[in-house]
């Protein structure tokens, strides 16, 4: 009986390798979402980790001298931020017809409302600038980590 205890005490205990949280994290993940109220309109959005968002914002901030306070202040370039943000977060769309677009922004009357608006950086920026509903929806979707952790 003593031999059994000695063998158990001297037996090597196998340990699992230590896993680093940093090695498990991913800086971004892209998921396709259905835009509410517009059947067939799908948007590919990319979740950005906080570190990536900070880097993105940093690229859009400049130091400006304030004569009143005689010090430098950060100033965010809104146009540059919108361009960088849309490039990083909105990776594509499909099914955005002119009929759907009429519900998002004010457009001229067209004959063929079933025609699709192709995805392009220019179209994305224009839609984000002119549709507060779309801008808000994108921001809400990207801000919810849960949207990117579930299998879709």
- pLDDT tens for residues 76-100? 899 999 999 999 999 999 999 999 9
- pLDDT tens for residues 45-88? 999 888 888 999 999 998 888 888 888 888 889 999 999 999 99
Token duo for residue 104: 């998002």
Q: How confident is the model at residue 21 (pLDDT cuts 50, 70, 90)?
A: confident
Q: Any bridge partners for residue 64, and if so which?
A: 73
For tokens 């900070």, the residue is 54
pTM: 0.77
Residues 6+ apart with CB under 8 A from 64: 72, 73, 74, 75
Query: What is the CB neighbour count within 10 angstroms for residue 152?
Result: 7
């Amino acid at each position: 009986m003593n031999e059994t205890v000695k063998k158990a005490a001297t037996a090597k205990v196998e340990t699992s390798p230590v896993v680093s949280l940093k090695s498990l994290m991913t800086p971004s993940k892209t998921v396709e979402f259905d835009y509410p109220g517009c059947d067939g309109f799908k948007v590919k959005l990319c979740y950005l980790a906080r570190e990536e968002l900070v880097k993105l914002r940093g690229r859009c901030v400049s130091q400006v001298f304030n004569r009143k306070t005689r010090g430098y202040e950060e100033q965010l370039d809104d146009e540059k931020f919108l361009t960088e943000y849309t490039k990083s977060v909105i990776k594509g769309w499909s099914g955005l017809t002119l009929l759907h677009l009429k519900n998002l922004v004010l457009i001229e009357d067209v004959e063929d409302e079933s025609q699709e608006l192709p995805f392009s950086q220019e179209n994305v920026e224009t839609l984000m600038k002119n549709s507060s509903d779309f801008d808000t929806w994108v921001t809400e979707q990207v801000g919810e980590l849960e949207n990117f952790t579930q299998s879709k």
